[in-house]
Structure 1
Amino acid sequence: MIDRNDLGAWIEGTPQDPDYVPGSSLGLPATGPGSVAGTGRRFVSLLIDWGLCVVTSMVFFQYDPLATLLLFVGMNVLFLSVFGATPAQFALGLRVLPVARRWPMVVRALARTLAMLTVVTAVVWNRDRQPLHDVLAGTAVVRA
């Protein structure tokens, strides 16, 4: 027989392990440089990078939406491939590291950026604080 407590158990959310350290399954430290970055800095860096693309699009392309999108993709792929961080991530002390698979960074950056554009992959996260686009690309955003 089903107990009323069984039916209401989902209200508390998913099971949590209070001793689990985000990033530990990826081999990342718990704190300090190389540890998984927080969501606040990641969100601010995304807003700054998008803002840079919008301003560039306004100046050179009369704020064409396609130009803005292509600038965002190009900036992400170029900067992540060469420097391991976008301009805003660099300014905020973040870095994108490979944590899975043996792909060249340019392939990771392209896969990560294209997946991020779907938006759904940016809002689905795992317990290691990796959004789905990072899981797909085999990357993690860490503190520099």
Structure 2
Amino acid sequence: MDSRQPRWTQTWLGGVRAGGADLGYPGERLGLPERGSGAVAGWGRRIGAIVIDWLICTWAIAQGLLGFSTADAGWVSLGILALEYVLLVGTIGMTFGMRLMNFRIASLDGGRPNLVQVLVRTFLLILAVPALIFDRDQRGLHDRAAGTVAVRL
């Protein structure tokens, strides 16, 4: 094999950066700033927000207000979480947890997501797996399918 030719494993075995590609910062391809308001919200903020929202839906609403037992509260909480996402992200662009963690959901044009985007994003988020698979802009499959991005306030 000619040593001057690049190895075909160079870009996937050692990662994309091994091939010399500069990926930039998360959100650069989307035209978002690197830091501050409007930058891509990091995973710490996003995980914190979903935990806060889940606790609100489970303990405060499902068990506290509606009186469901711990065993039954799981499915009810999931439904309440989906309803919270559709209503709050659809109207103000963020849930309670997102507000506390200082970020919102935006369309790729920077505006509030429309109803179809919110429904697609919520459905896929409830499935959980799409949220765990993400790209270099830190957008999960649910965000990519819906055409949305989580940005800092």
Classify the TM-score, shorter chain: 0.7 to 0.9
Match of 1:131 among 140, 147, 153: 140
From 111, 115, 119, the counterpart of 2:124 = 115
Q: Structure 2 stretches of 5 or more lacking a match?
A: none
Which deviations, in whole Å up to 9, do the C-alpha atoms of 1:7-26 show, x marking residues without a partner? 97544234474451211221
CA RMSD in angstroms, aligned pairs only: 2.5
Relative to 1, partners in 2 of residues 1:17 and 1:106: Cα closer, same or farther, differing over 3 Å?
same
- Aligned residue in 1 for 2:69: 62
Q: Distance in 2 between matches of 1:88 and 1:99?
A: 21
Match 1:23 to one of 14, 17, 27: 27
The alignment partner of 2:151 has SS state of strand
**Structure 1 residue matching 2:127: 3-state secondary structure:** coil
TM-score under structure 1 normalisation? 0.85
Q: Judge which range, 15-24 or 108-117, deviates more.
A: 15-24
- Any stretches of 5+ residues in structure 1 without a counterpart? none
Distance 1:46 1:75 in 2: 11
Report how many residues are paired.
142
Percent identity between the two aligned chains: 32
Amino acid at match of 2:48: V
Stretch deviating more after TM superposition (56-65 or 91-100): 56-65
1:81 aligns with 2:90: yes
The reply on whether 1:52 has 2:45 as its aligned counterpart is no
Inter-CA distance 122–62: structure 2 relative to 1 (3 Å threshold): same
